[in-house]
Amino acid sequence: MNLNNINLEMTAGRIDQFPIDEIPEIAFVGRSNVGKSSLLNTMMNRKSLARTSSAPGKTRTVNFYNIDETIRLVDLPGYGYASVSKKQQGSWLKIVDEYLTERENLKCIALLLDIRHEPNTADKLMFEFIREMDIPHIIVITKADKLGKNAQIKNVGLIRKILGMDKDDNVVLFSSLNKTGKDDLWEMMTEILGVE
């Protein structure tokens, strides 16, 4: 797979705009502001191909990044941030739901969780939903750079416990700031999707 051959193939606000082919996709889900778009930029070696913001609710469409015609990374709008009203969220969360429940190209889901926060009800529901979908999944714990080593270990343990994760669940500690976990995540993703 050639990481120099990446493009934003489509930014879709409706399900009928999704690309039609068989390219396997990995989707990135999680609360608004958890760092999904930043993680995608880090994974793709780009500074700002995916748009990011310190204000939650930046990504409002489904964004398909085509990597060398081999896989797609899919950036989704975030859910459940207190400062974004339910009504505001409704319009763009519908497309997330449609993507996750109807997309046949979807072969792996990465659920992102902020290392500093306990998973909330929305996170727990999303984790349950992914488990029930019976699709390979990776838990990515973001913003690792915000904590020291001991606090990292403590909080990862807490997140595992709160979500009731299994021992063999894939977990990656990640930082878009210093690229912690980037190689591990690429390895897991390519193995799950069966690409080189």
* Run of H or E including 102: helix 86-102
Closer Cβ to ligand GTP, 118 or 145, answer by number: 145
137 binds ligand GTP, rule: CB under 6 A: no
The answer to whether 26 and 193 are in contact (CB under 8 A) is yes
Tokens linked to 156: 């990862």
Q: Which of 175, 181, 188, 193 touches ligand GTP by CB under 6 A?
A: 175
Among 33, 41, 42, 59, binds Mg ion (CB under 5 A): 59
DSSP tag of 143: -
Decide if residue 37 touches Mg ion (CB under 5 A).
Answer: yes
Which partner from the list ligand GTP, Mg ion, none does 177 bind, CB cut-off 5 to 8 Å by kind? ligand GTP
CB of 134 to Mg ion, least distance (A): 26
**Residue 1 or 49 having the CB closest to Mg ion:** 49
Q: Which is nearer to Mg ion, 59 or 180 (CB)?
A: 59
Instruction: State the alpha helices, DSSP H only, in the chain.
Output: 36-43, 86-102, 121-133, 149-163, 182-193
Give dist(CA 160, CA 48) in Å, integer: 31
Q: Which of residues 60-99 bind ligand GTP (CB under 6 A)?
A: 77-78
For residue 146, state whether it binds ligand GTP (rule: CB under 6 A).
yes
Q: Is 44 in the site for ligand GTP (CB under 6 A)?
A: no
Half-sphere CA count of 139, side-chain side, radius 13 A: 25
Buried residues in 39-50 as b, exposed as e (16+ CB within 10 A): bbbbbbeeeebb
Q: Which stretch binds ligand GTP (CB under 6 A): 51-59, 64-72, 128-136, 183-191?
A: 51-59
Q: Are 39 and 73 in contact (CB under 8 A)?
A: no
Instruction: Give CA–CA dist 156/82, Å, rounded.
Output: 23
d(CA 77, CA 95): 9
> If binding is defined by CB under 5 A, does position 41 make contact with Mg ion?
no
Q: Please, what is the minimum distance in Å from the beta carbon of residue 175 to ligand GTP?
A: 4
Q: What is the amino acid identity at position 83?
A: S
Contact set with Mg ion (CB under 5 A): 36-37, 58-59
Using CB under 6 A as the criterion, which residues of the chain lie in contact with ligand GTP when the complex forms?
30, 32-38, 52-54, 56-59, 77-78, 142-143, 145-146, 175-177
